[in-house]
Amino acid sequence: MTSDPVRLGVAGLGRAFMLTLPAFQADPRIRLVAAAAPRAESRAAFERDFGGTGYASVDELASDPNVEAIYVATPHQMHADHVIAALKGGKHVLVDKPLSVSMEDAERMVAAAEESGGHLIVGPSHSFDAPVALARRLIDSGEFGALRMVQAFNYTDFLYRPRRPEELRTEEGGGVLFSQGIHQIDMVRLLCGGQAETLFAMTGNWDPDRPTEGAYSALLSFAGGAFATLTYSGYAHFDSDIWMDDIGELGAPKPSGGYGAARSALIGLDAESEAKLKTTRTFGQGKAPAKATHHEHFGPVIAICDRADLRLTPGGVEIFADTERRFVEAPVGPVPRQEVIDALYGAVRQGRAPAQSGHWGLASLEVCHAILTSAETGAPVRLGRQCGLNQEEIEHE
């Protein structure tokens, strides 16, 4: 029945699952029925908390007839195999960003979705955040004229959170681009219509103990004439949540007194000890994120139009127009990441194609690779795998 909850399986019970778990638990449209994870302790914790079945492999999960859709929350470099297995098993798929690490894998995943007829949704990413969709609707209204420029910037401690060794190797999806840049790219593409054209970028790789990209800055042009600047640093010094009313990325107030905690926690740890520390953030061991009081965000974003600048905040959009300044609220509901559940439920129960489809995820991944290429060559990169917005889904949101 169309009103029944989606019977969801989960591939991977690590940190990504922990961050989306509050949404699954709070939304009656989702029922967790199975999971696949390599660690027996994680599988046992899942069965204890949710019932259902724990599997040692994603192939087994994909064969479970009780599972309608699978959330793939495994490490980036495993996404392609796990998504394709789920699609071949007749499941719809929500895969945590990024779609994959390589463009070749991304192409295989999109092709598998088309062949199977299943929906492939890429997220959660911050392009799902309600203030982003609200800003897009305000731009589409025409009230403020054409969109001319978007500025997005974020400063975090990302590079100094506990990492497994492969998370510090760019070729395996490590560094800030594939895990963090994809958020910013998704948001900017959504605001600017999706069809990026050319890119020029530089990256920073400045800590020999964390030998991967920890920062970047990019200039991106779009069909129609708009352009965007994207800047990110994960080097754990300045924290741009200060500019977001001290609301953290996940929508909860930022606790005071935490400055320097990320770097301090790594002092004296070797690679093995650091990897063990990361497991304390996974399902069955880690704590759930603090309760969100606002929407999630990814740092300051300002959309500059002919007759107004739109500033995205954790509560909505602040409008700085020609002769007035006002705020348009994006109400916060009882379910965190509700927009992600909306997309998943809409795809499975209503057959509605999501805005953040496999094609969309592939286009955003192309921008990640273009940033690396431009930084290496010192030359602009012309983009060729971009796609526009699914306007029907944006209007629905």
User: CB–CB of 83/109 below 8 Å?
Assistant: yes
**pLDDT at position 392:** 55
Percentage of the chain modeled with pLDDT above 90: 92
Question: How confident is the model over 223-280, as pLDDT tens digits?
Answer: 999 999 999 999 999 999 999 999 999 999 999 899 999 999 999 999 999 999 998 8
Token pair recorded at residue 51: 């019932």
CA distance 216 to 204: 6
- Residue pointed to by tokens 């019977």: 7
Provide the CATH number for the domain around residue 390.
Answer: 3.30.360.10
CA distance 319 to 296: 19
In sequence order, what DSSP letters do the residues of 79-92 get, joined into one string? Answer: HHHHHHHHHHTT-E
CA distances from 135 to 41, 192, 238 (A): 43, 11, 26
Kindly state whether residues 281 and 352 are assigned to the same domain.
Answer: no
CA distance 355 to 391: 8
Range of the domain at 154: 127-334+365-396
Kindly state whether residues 283 and 315 are assigned to the same domain.
Answer: yes
CA atoms within 13 A on the CB side of 234: 25
Provide the CATH number for the domain around residue 344.
Answer: 3.40.50.720
Token pair recorded at residue 25: 């638990």
Q: Is residue 1 part of a domain?
A: no
pLDDT at residue 2 is higher than 70: no
CA distance 184 to 257: 27
Kindly state whether residues 97 and 38 are assigned to the same domain.
Answer: yes
Question: How confident is the model over 288-324, as pLDDT tens digits?
Answer: 888 999 999 999 999 999 999 999 999 999 999 999 9
Kindly state whether residues 377 and 301 are assigned to the same domain.
Answer: yes
In sequence order, what DSSP letters do the residues of 297-345 get, joined into one string? Answer: --S-EEEEESSEEEEEETTEEEEEESS-EEEEE----SSTTHHHHHHHH
Kindly state whether residues 84 and 138 are assigned to the same domain.
Answer: no
pLDDT at residue 44 is higher than 80: yes
- Number of domains the chain is built from: 2
Kindly state whether residues 288 and 377 are assigned to the same domain.
Answer: yes
Question: How confident is the model over 149-178, as pLDDT tens digits?
Answer: 999 999 999 999 999 999 999 999 999 999
